[in-house]
Chain A
Amino acid sequence: MSEELVRGLKCRLCGKIYEKSPLNFCTDDFGPLEVVYDYEAVASTLTKASITARPHNMWRYRELLPIDGEPTVGLNVGGTPLVRADRLAKALGIAELYIKNDAVNHPTLSFKDRVVAVALSKAVEFGFRTVGCASTGNLAGSVAANAAAAGLEAYVLIPDNLEQGKVLGAMIYGAKVIAVEGNYDHVNRLCSQIAFKFGWGFVNVNLRPFYAEGSKTMGFEIAEDLGWRAPDHVVAPMAGGSLIGKLLKAFKEFETLGFIPKVSTKMFGAQATGCNPISNTVKTDALKVRPIRNPNTIAKSLAIGDPADGYFASQLIRDSGGWSEDVDDDAIVDAMKLLAETEGIFAETAGGVTLAVAQKLIAQGRIDRDGSTVLCITGNGLKTQEALIGKLGRPPVIKPNMAEFEALVGSEAGELVGA
C-alpha cells in the first residue's frame, strides 16, 4: 500500500535523490540521506479518523513510516502513555506538564523499539538475514529482542563499560553481543565498516534513514494525545541528536497534513555535562560540533561524543527558539528521584538528564511557566540501577514484631481505623 508513498532517499546537503536502498550517506558528498514522502498521496489515505480507528501502537501512522506493505517486525511497539504530570508540574512551578513515557515501551522498555521496528521491517523487505547495531545499551536490547522475534540473526556491538542490565538485556535474546574496547564512537566506526563489508543490515548504519523515521511516532503520539496539537515546549534527551529532529518533523508533518494547527514548538535538547557536544554547540553558537573524546557520565545511553546529527540538532534547536543545556551526575540522580517521587515513574539516567535540564531551563526563563511542556522519557530505570547504588541509602531491617515497627515509625504515626 505505502509503496508509492515513499519517493526515495534524498541527500540533506545536495538534494540528490536515491532509490530506496540500504544506504545512509550520499556517495557524492557524504551527506545524510533522508526519506522523502509524497504527502499528497499520504493525505489520500491517512486522516485523523483513519488514525483513531486503528490499534494504539506506532503503526497507526504507518503511511508516514518508510515501509512498503505491511510491517513485519515490532507490531506492538508504541502507544505509550502521555502522562499529565501535575505533581511534578507543581514541584517545578509550571502550569501544564506531560511525561511521554517510553520507559514502558514494548518490548524492551525504551524508545528504541520504535526505530528498530521500522529498521527491521525494512531489513526483512531488503532481504537481510543478519542484522546488527552499534549501541549505548537500549538499542542493543531492542535489536536483540525484535530480531529474535523476527527470526533474524543479530550482531550487537557495545562499548565494554556498559551497565550490567543492558548487557544481560541483550544477551538473553540470543544475540551475538560483542563488547568493543573503547567508547561508543569506536564501536560506531567499526560498525560502519562491518555493515557494508559483510552486507548486513545494521539498523543505525546502512538502514539508518529508515530507522530514524521510527522516532517520529513518539511525536505523532504526543500531538494526538494532546488533542491534536503540538506542545509549546518539548524537552528531549540527545545522544546522536536524531530524536529531537524527528519529534519536530512529526509535528510538521501533522501540520502539513492539516491534522494540527501551525507548529511553533520550541525544541529543547538535554545532555549530560560529561558528554555535551551538542549543548555546547548551541550555547557557544558554534557552526561546527566539537566532538568529545572521552565521554564521562552516568548517563551512558547518551554518551556519544561524536553525534551524527549534532549539527542538524543544534540548528533546529536554535531555529525553533529553543535551547540546550547539560547537567552533572548529581543533578541527574536528583532528578531521577524527583520524577519517581512525584509521578511514580522510574526513568533511566537519560530521563534524569531530561528532567534536570528542564529544571535548569525553567530557572533560566527559557521555558515559559505558563506554556505546555512535554518531557520525553526514553528509557527505563530498571536498566541503569548501578547509577543509584549508594544514593538511596538502605532499608532499615527490623524483626517481625509490632514493637520494632512502632519503635521505627512511632506508635502515633498510624491513622487509626474503627477506634
Chain B
Amino acid sequence: MPIIRIPTPLRPHTGGNDTVEAQGATVGALLADLGKQYPALHERIFDGTDLRRFVNVYVNNEDIRYLEDLETVVADKDEVSIIPAVAGG
C-alpha cells in the first residue's frame, strides 16, 4: 500500500504515527481512506471536497497540482506527503 507522510504537528491525530498506510488508486481515494481512519485529520486537510488553501500534497517528489490534483494515480510503492504550504521565502 502507498504510505502517507503526516506533518509532525498533526501526529496527535494519527496516534503518534508519522507515516500511515492507506488504500486507494488515486490521491483523492487515498486521502479519503486516510480520513476514514483518522476523521480529525480529514477535517483539517479538507474544506468540503477540496484541499484547504494551505495544504500541499506531493506524490513522491512532485506537487499534485502539476499532475492531476486529487485524480493523480498512485501506485503501491508511492509515497504521498502532506506538507503545510506556509514555509519558505
Q: Which residues of A line the B interface, CB within 8 A?
A: 13, 23-25, 27-33, 134, 182, 184-186, 188-189, 191-193, 196-197, 204-205, 208, 212, 239-242, 288, 291, 293, 304, 306-309, 311
Contact of B84 among A192, A288, A309 (CB under 8 A): A192
Contact of A31 among B7, B56, B81, B86 (CB under 8 A): B86
B86, A25: Cβ atoms closer than 8 Å = yes
Complex interface bits, B3-14 against A, C-beta within 8 A gives 1, otherwise 0: 001011110000
Nearest chain B CB to A379 CB, angstrom units: 14
CA distance A306 to B56 in the complex (A): 10
Contact of B86 among A30, A191, A304 (CB under 8 A): A30
A-B contact pairs, 11 of them (CB 8 A): A13-B53, A30-B53, A134-B88, A185-B88, A189-B81, A191-B88, A193-B5, A193-B83, A208-B86, A288-B53, A306-B56
Count B-side interface residues using an 8 Å CB cutoff. Answer: 27
Complex interface bits, B30-63 against A, C-beta within 8 A gives 1, otherwise 0: 0000000000000011010000111110100101
B51-89 contacts to A, CB under 8 A, are 52-56, 58, 61, 63, 65-66, 81, 83-89
Q: Which residue of A lies closest to B88 (CB)?
A: A188
Chain B residues in 8 Å Cβ range of A134 = 87-88
Contact of B54 among A31, A184, A191, A240 (CB under 8 A): A31
B89, A241: Cβ atoms closer than 8 Å = yes
Chain B residues in 8 Å Cβ range of A212 = 89
In terms of DSSP, what is the predominant structure of the interface of chain B?
mixed
Q: Which residue of A lies closest to B45 (CB)?
A: A30
Q: A182-B61, A197-B18, A306-B56 are in contact. Are A30 and B84 (CB under 8 A)?
A: yes
Nearest chain A CB to B45 CB, angstrom units: 8
Nearest chain B CB to A11 CB, angstrom units: 10
Chain A residues in 8 Å Cβ range of B56 = 189, 306
A24, B84: Cβ atoms closer than 8 Å = yes
Nearest chain B CB to A302 CB, angstrom units: 10
CA distance A77 to B71 in the complex (A): 48
A30, B88: Cβ atoms closer than 8 Å = no
